[in-house]
Structure 1
Amino acid sequence: SGNSGRFTSPGYPGNYPNNAYCTWQISVSTGYIVAIRFSAFSLEDGINCGYDSLAIYDGSSTTAPRLARLCGSSARTISTTGRNAFVVFRTDGSVTESGFSANFTAETGGTIVRFLECYPGNYPNNAYCTWQISVSTGYVVAIRFSVLSLEDETNCGYDSLAIYDGSSTTAPRLARLCGSSARTISTTGRNAFVVFRTDGSVTESGFSANFTAETGF
């Protein structure tokens, strides 16, 4: 507990052991969220992180929603939606790497809390993907695009990314995007729902976006 701290894989900066199982329960002050950042990250890589992995849960145990399961050498900032995080580091019986070093801090709901990605590499035909986004009460969701490249059409009738002002497609639609022109989309409340849909022909490189919790205007 506490509003900041550091945790590492066992033996860091040396290699972690085989058959390890370590957990960390993190709690910060009420009204804050937990942001976990990595200064070093190197785990055995594998499909679906099936060998060695670091899992981060959005609550105080493994029964909470899992925010990420990390392996290999690619780690990003992970933020919770509330004041608790639960971290599980697990290794198998062969191959070890140098492990990880992470810091956690207590932050307000205004930090970037997740990425929406269908990028890099062309997206598939006949795709249907959804993301439900919720931020802290009293904030709105702002979605910004670093990349957008979808099949273009006047009414975005082929491939499209739709953003709704609520928690499902029954909420008002704020935008339907295609082509290569994207703008910042902001909701009026704490929820957003995103739908990515593609048809049966022509694919492009897709999109990468981040969302932040911001104060309303």
Structure 2
Amino acid sequence: MFGEVSSPQYPQPYPENLQEQWDLEVPQGYQIQLTFNHLDIEPSPNCYYDSVSVVSDEKVLGKFCGQNSTDRFHPGEKPILAPGNRLQLLFLTDDSNHESHLGFTAFYQAVDECSSSSVVKDPPCSQICLNTLGSYLCACHHGYTLRPDQRTCACECVH
């Protein structure tokens, strides 16, 4: 349901000429969310020299490098939510490092449709969200009915 992944030798500087891959998976019916706790990878235009890429179903969700959140290709603290329950991390380094870089450490966890951080600002349901396999259903508290939009509830108030 959750775990941590780090570049080789972290928190010591990472080696040159690496090609590492991690296959991360959470149970079916959940999405996988990845958050970088620390990222210090040799900065370069388009992360050409060294990079960590986040891939879901052969689609690159992000390619990162740099040392702080102001760098153009740095993920900052924003979580990356995969559309499914699997992610691949690809860490590539070359032999051009002129200074030491520590690499990365990241936390991944299973999230459901109702509790993923992307829906906190815009909840999928106005009252009750019920997670289902790969989706969700909305429900209402006693005295309310689900509107045709299947998201919001209306009061059955008697006047």
User: Is TM (by shorter chain) over 0.5?
Assistant: yes
Instruction: Give the Cα–Cα distance (whole angstroms) in 1 for the partners of residues 44 and 25 of structure 2.
Output: 30
User: 5 Å matches for 1:1-217?
Assistant: 3-59=1-57, 64-73=58-67, 74-75=74-75, 76-95=78-97, 96-110=100-114, 111-112=116-117, 137-138=135-136, 216-217=151-152
Opposite residue 106 of structure 1, the aligned amino acid is A
Letter aligned with residue 23 of structure 1: Q
Whole-angstrom distance in 1 between the partners of 2:90 and 2:33: 16
CA distance in 2, matches of 1:102, 1:53: 14
Q: What is the deviation of 1:137?
A: 3.7
Hey, what's the Cα distance between the residues in 2 that align with 1:41 and 1:139? 37
Change (3 A) 1:139 1:12: farther
TM-score (norm 2): 0.66
In structure 1, list runs of 5 or more residues that go unmatched.
Answer: 114-135, 141-187, 189-214
Distance (Å, rounded) in 2 between the aligned partners of 1:57 and 1:109: 20
Q: Does structure 2 retain, via aligned residues, the 8 Å contact 1:109–1:139?
A: no
Displacement of 1:37 in angstroms is 0.9
Work out whether residues 53 and 64 of structure 2, in 8 Å CA contact, stay in contact via their aligned partners in 1.
yes
CA RMSD of aligned residues (A): 2.0
Tell me the number of residue pairs that the alignment of Structure 1 and Structure 2 aligns: 116
Q: Which has the higher contact order (CA 8 A, sep 6+)?
A: 2
Where do 4+ consecutive residues of structure 1 move more than 6 Å? none
For each residue in 1:116-173, what CA deviation from the matched residue of structure 2 results, as whole angstroms up to 9, or x when unmatched? xxxxxxxxxxxxxxxxxxxx64479xxxxxxxxxxxxxxxxxxxxxxxxxxxxxxxxx
The structure with the largest strand share of the pair is 1
| Alignment TM-score, normalising by the size of structure 1 | 0.49
Query: Amino acid of the residue matched to residue 107 of structure 1?
Result: V
Residue 112 (structure 1) shift: 4.0
* Matched position secondary structure for 2:11: coil
The 2-side partners of 1:112 and 1:46 are apart by 30
Quote how far apart the aligned CAs of 1:31 are: 0.8
Structure 2's unaligned 5+ residue stretches are: 68-73, 119-133, 139-148, 153-159
User: Taking every aligned residue pair, what percent have the same amino acid on both sides?
Assistant: 28
